[in-house]
Chain A
């Protein structure tokens, strides 16, 4: 079935879904309003930056929710794709800075190189860097997904193996000889599109870009899960063998969504790095990848809006509490997770009375 055709008998189903998920529309609206507010209201740069980072995290959470909530694949390695986006973005910023200012990044000087290595060629051009980031994330996801899905690795096995993958990547990137800054990673980005990095306009611009991207990703993801492909994703999540014996190549379906999700995660990384000003292998720590899953679970698994709410809530709390109540934050986080996992199977959306899908829908996971 092609996703675009919703004529005749299929239409009521489509409408039902749209009516049942007003949250996404609300969130998209909020994103746009917030972007407008940042431009017009000019709040403190610190706040603008925080909002921008939260938007990047929300994009990351949506990317995971697509594969976990809708396809039943819990990736504990999504930090890898986030990092790919982040690293390529950092490379672009440094290459751009080198071209504009003529000084080499300090880690390049440290490695004793005379200039940027050959594979950095062209990275100073933003469109190429964007393509490279998305392409690389997609390629890595494709290769990993191909072997994993073809050999039918799924469930907790997939989670463990994806975690091992991100762990391996972390070990590799910590190695100094890998050549991307090792433990210190990359930092000290001077310019963005020729503008000085810390300028208020740049900070606002980045935050607005992140918000708009979030809105677009949400709308796009919403369209996807509402389409025929989305129904196949749910079918695959709930009974993969059944779907396969009806003539569908679930490997191909999973691979496509998986690669798409990886690219969205890379997009989040691209938006994140210029806002925090550093990328280092820490983002590849298995803990961070688990945390992404925690955001999704807290907000509400299998609800795009839930992922956004979870990511924003947890990270806003983290920003605030790690300064305000540093001792209490880990306890609050672990308590929140346990509360959600035990009492609110559909995440905090349960509290808001917005529970849509009946509880048996999440029973298999």
Chain B
């Protein structure tokens, strides 16, 4: 039954000459309010009409489509209503624009197939009527993904109307690429070059499919062009995949590094295994959430900046808790490292449950600013995701600042002196107890910073820290105690190894292989990569 209806819809579209289809608003609204087939028919019709319809008509159709996609279209017996927001009590009539209340209306839910068609139609409308260059470019990007779904006359019209030279060039490229199956051999060859100029896995699949078609066999020059195009896209896709691996490794390594950096300082200085380090990360994330809420209340217009503003707050909050922990608990345990291990475990249990009781177990809701959400395709299939880039840059900045503190400030000098030889430093009159406390604060604060950087990447809940401790310790131990550079190298190594092994043998095996590798390495070289040998 459904299939029959779909066939009929396609037939109807074939019968109605595309150029003659006026964008009848009432009919469109009725279609979009109809069943799945009608919705599909409606959005196809917008695409078909886009070549000739006036921009006003298109813009009106665009508003209807947007309302449908966002569930702001209320359908009732009196005709469709466009609401300002989903579930509003009143809206504007789709035909007259008059405001009237929503009565016994239903808001249709788009099926996935229909959603794709609506998206295409909206993209066509955006390309032709978009106010800003960005809106039009976004439309073009969507149309490029749906190669073959739009008549090339739309691209021709857009190219003619486009005022921005850059975008006009892109449109021309897209139009060229769309001509892959054109009967004109020159156009076809140009299309191959155009497709190859924007390499991706999808482009590769299209070219390969074309290569096995009879058209390619018949036209030798076209086949050659295809072979050249396929080769270049293949190379580009490989490079893109390589870049993606590099990027994934780097981003994982930066997370590992941030989780481990504070630990490296604490462990190197005091020999304390801080099992609560993961919870300091969690505290940093919760502090970030607090800053966000404060911004929401006090300065909603600056909300996007909360992540930046959270940096000092998260550092201070975690450092403060760390200093309190040091003063109340760890101070008494420096000669008993294994007991301090248990004590920090108890503290971690305490912190997790405190947050659980005080705030709840649910994931916190973050409003992600644009600079940490989404991503941009950089090359072939390699997409730079902003949240990971944020973490990488954040880790780099953390590394630079920590090195600066350790190498250039009196505190850093003291920390390094005590790390290398506690007794000697004490003899020289350094207040080792105070240095311990400040260093512990620094280490905890670094974990708090990691919490900020992780907010855009992971879900924030009371248990989020528990996953980091073992990985972080492996990084510290592998890198060599007390060596921040060692920690960095170990983080890069572990991150890279994980990402490289994962596609070959799966995520579990990758983790297992890397951990076993570390254990074996440490058996051979217990002092890690970068620690100087010490005498008994």
Q: Quick check: B470 and A167 within 8 Å, CB to CB?
A: yes
Interface assignment of B347: CB less than 8 Å from any CB of chain A: yes
Q: Quick check: B343 and A341 within 8 Å, CB to CB?
A: yes
Interface assignment of A163: CB less than 8 Å from any CB of chain B: yes
A236 to chain B, nearest CB (A): 16
Q: Please give me the residue from chain A that is nearest to B528 by CB atom.
A: A157
B467 to chain A, nearest CB (A): 11
Q: Quick check: A156 and B271 within 8 Å, CB to CB?
A: yes
Q: Quick check: A330 and B353 within 8 Å, CB to CB?
A: yes
Cα of A331 to Cα of B516 in the assembled complex, Å: 35
Q: Quick check: B342 and A290 within 8 Å, CB to CB?
A: yes
Stretch at the interface among B332-340, B484-492, B496-504: B332-340
Stretch at the interface among B71-79, B178-186, B227-235, B517-525: B517-525
Stretch at the interface among B169-177, B406-414, B507-515: B507-515
Q: Quick check: B353 and A157 within 8 Å, CB to CB?
A: no
Q: Quick check: B339 and A164 within 8 Å, CB to CB?
A: no
Question: Cβ of B458: which chain A residues have Cβ within 8 Å of it?
Answer: none
The 5 A-B residue pairs with the shortest CB-CB distance, nearest first, are A337-B346, A334-B350, A334-B346, A330-B353, A334-B349
Q: Please give me the residue from chain A that is nearest to B347 by CB atom.
A: A334
What are 26 of the A-B contact pairs (CB < 8 Å)?
A74-B338, A147-B520, A148-B523, A151-B526, A155-B337, A157-B526, A160-B473, A164-B473, A168-B519, A171-B512, A290-B275, A290-B342, A294-B346, A330-B349, A330-B350, A334-B347, A334-B350, A338-B350, A341-B329, A341-B339, A341-B340, A342-B332, A342-B333, A342-B343, A364-B335, A365-B336
1/0 contact string of A338-352 vs chain B (CB within 8 Å)? 100110010000000
Q: Quick check: B508 and A175 within 8 Å, CB to CB?
A: yes
1/0 contact string of A75-91 vs chain B (CB within 8 Å)? 00000000000000000
A residues touching B (Cβ–Cβ < 8 Å)?
68, 74, 147-148, 150-153, 155-157, 159-161, 163-165, 167-168, 171-172, 174-175, 241, 286-287, 290, 293-294, 297, 327, 330-331, 333-338, 341-342, 345, 362-365
1/0 contact string of B317-349 vs chain A (CB within 8 Å)? 000000000000100110111111111011101
Q: Please give me the residue from chain B that is nearest to A73 by CB atom.
A: B338
A325 to chain B, nearest CB (A): 12
Q: Quick check: A164 and B342 within 8 Å, CB to CB?
A: no
Interface assignment of B474: CB less than 8 Å from any CB of chain A: yes
Interface assignment of B357: CB less than 8 Å from any CB of chain A: yes
Q: Please give me the residue from chain A that is nearest to B518 by CB atom.
A: A164
Q: Quick check: A159 and B273 within 8 Å, CB to CB?
A: yes
Q: Quick check: A160 and B524 within 8 Å, CB to CB?
A: no
Q: Quick check: B516 and A168 within 8 Å, CB to CB?
A: yes
Cα of A290 to Cα of B473 in the assembled complex, Å: 15
For window 382-413 of B, CB contacts with A under 8 Å fall at: none
Q: Quick check: B346 and A341 within 8 Å, CB to CB?
A: yes
Q: Quick check: B346 and A241 within 8 Å, CB to CB?
A: no
Cα of A68 to Cα of B336 in the assembled complex, Å: 13
Given contacts A164-B515, A337-B345, contact A151 B524 (CB under 8 A): yes
Q: Quick check: A147 and B523 within 8 Å, CB to CB?
A: yes
Question: Cβ of A153: which chain B residues have Cβ within 8 Å of it?
Answer: 522-523, 526
Cα of A363 to Cα of B520 in the assembled complex, Å: 31
Question: Cβ of A293: which chain B residues have Cβ within 8 Å of it?
Answer: 338, 342
1/0 contact string of B338-379 vs chain A (CB within 8 Å)? 111111011101101100010000000000000000000000
Q: Quick check: B271 and A294 within 8 Å, CB to CB?
A: no
B residues touching A (Cβ–Cβ < 8 Å)?
271, 273, 275, 329, 332-333, 335-343, 345-347, 349-350, 352-353, 357, 466, 470, 473-474, 477, 508-509, 511-512, 515-516, 518-520, 522-524, 526, 536
Q: Please give me the residue from chain A that is nearest to B275 by CB atom.
A: A290
Given contacts A164-B474, A175-B508, A330-B353, contact A159 B346 (CB under 8 A): no
Question: Cβ of A287: which chain B residues have Cβ within 8 Å of it?
Answer: 466
Of B335, B470, B516, most buried by chain A (CB within 10 Å of CB) is B470
Q: What's the dominant secondary structure at chain B's contact region?
A: helix
Q: Quick check: A341 and B519 within 8 Å, CB to CB?
A: no
Count A/B pairs, Cβ under 8 Å: 119
Given contacts A165-B519, A171-B511, A290-B275, contact A338 B477 (CB under 8 A): no
Q: Please give me the residue from chain A that is nearest to B331 by CB atom.
A: A342
Question: Cβ of A335: which chain B residues have Cβ within 8 Å of it?
Answer: 346, 350
Question: Cβ of B511: which chain A residues have Cβ within 8 Å of it?
Answer: 171
Cα of A333 to Cα of B523 in the assembled complex, Å: 34
Question: Cβ of B341: which chain A residues have Cβ within 8 Å of it?
Answer: 74, 156, 159
Question: Cβ of A167: which chain B residues have Cβ within 8 Å of it?
Answer: 470, 515
Question: Cβ of B335: which chain A residues have Cβ within 8 Å of it?
Answer: 363-364
Q: Please give me the residue from chain A that is nearest to B477 by CB atom.
A: A160
Q: Please give me the residue from chain A that is nearest to B272 by CB atom.
A: A156
Q: Quick check: A338 and B523 within 8 Å, CB to CB?
A: no
B461 to chain A, nearest CB (A): 16
B117 to chain A, nearest CB (A): 40
Question: Cβ of A337: which chain B residues have Cβ within 8 Å of it?
Answer: 342-343, 345-346, 349
Q: Quick check: A156 and B336 within 8 Å, CB to CB?
A: no
Among B343, B470, B518, which residue has its beta carbon within 8 angstroms of that of A338? B343
Question: Cβ of A336: which chain B residues have Cβ within 8 Å of it?
Answer: 346
Q: Quick check: B342 and A297 within 8 Å, CB to CB?
A: yes
Q: Quick check: B473 and A171 within 8 Å, CB to CB?
A: no
Cα of A147 to Cα of B524 in the assembled complex, Å: 8
Q: Quick check: B508 and A171 within 8 Å, CB to CB?
A: yes
Q: Please give me the residue from chain B that is nearest to A329 by CB atom.
A: B353
Cα of A150 to Cα of B522 in the assembled complex, Å: 12
Cα of A365 to Cα of B516 in the assembled complex, Å: 28
Given contacts A156-B341, A164-B515, A175-B508, contact A342 B273 (CB under 8 A): no
Q: Quick check: A161 and B338 within 8 Å, CB to CB?
A: no
Q: Please give me the residue from chain B that is nearest to A330 by CB atom.
A: B353
Cα of A269 to Cα of B474 in the assembled complex, Å: 28
Given contacts A156-B338, A294-B345, contact A161 B522 (CB under 8 A): yes
Question: Cβ of B345: which chain A residues have Cβ within 8 Å of it?
Answer: 290, 294, 337
Cα of A334 to Cα of B329 in the assembled complex, Å: 12
> Other than the known A74-B341, A155-B337, A165-B519, what 20 A-B pairs have Cβ atoms closer than 8 Å?
A153-B526, A155-B338, A159-B273, A160-B273, A163-B473, A164-B515, A168-B512, A171-B512, A286-B470, A290-B342, A290-B345, A293-B338, A330-B353, A331-B350, A331-B353, A335-B346, A337-B349, A338-B346, A342-B343, A365-B338
B480 to chain A, nearest CB (A): 11
Q: Quick check: A159 and B518 within 8 Å, CB to CB?
A: no
Cα of A335 to Cα of B354 in the assembled complex, Å: 12
Cα of A283 to Cα of B474 in the assembled complex, Å: 21
Cα of A165 to Cα of B519 in the assembled complex, Å: 8
Question: Cβ of B524: which chain A residues have Cβ within 8 Å of it?
Answer: 151
Given contacts A159-B341, A333-B349, contact A341 B333 (CB under 8 A): yes
